[in-house]
Amino acid sequence: MATQQAQRQDLDIHLGTDGKLIGRLYLGSGKRSAFRYDERWLQDPRFFTVSPDLQLIPGVQYPQGVFFGRWKRA
């Protein structure tokens, strides 16, 4: 019996023309994704949140709110 491996894609999120790394988006094969701010971005004076449901902390976060919610077509 063949097993199907879960595929996961991780995306580095960059900002601006200088390509400042602000974090990594972990896209799971299921319905749950995660995000981790780059620690240098958390210390940057230009810091802003990319989603209201992300806390201003280092480490991987698994929010349930708008940023990671299901997208619906109109």
pLDDT digits (tens, 9 = 90+) for 43-62: 999 899 888 888 889 999 98
- CA-based nearest residue to 56, from 74, 71, 43: 43
Going from N- to C-terminal start, the domains of the chain cover 1-50
Task: Please state the rounded mean pLDDT for residues 8-25.
Answer: 90
Distance between CA atoms of 47 and 58, rounded to whole angstroms? 13
| pLDDT of the residue at 61 | 92
> What secondary structure letter does DSSP report for 68?
G
Residue 4 in this model has a pLDDT that exceeds 60: no
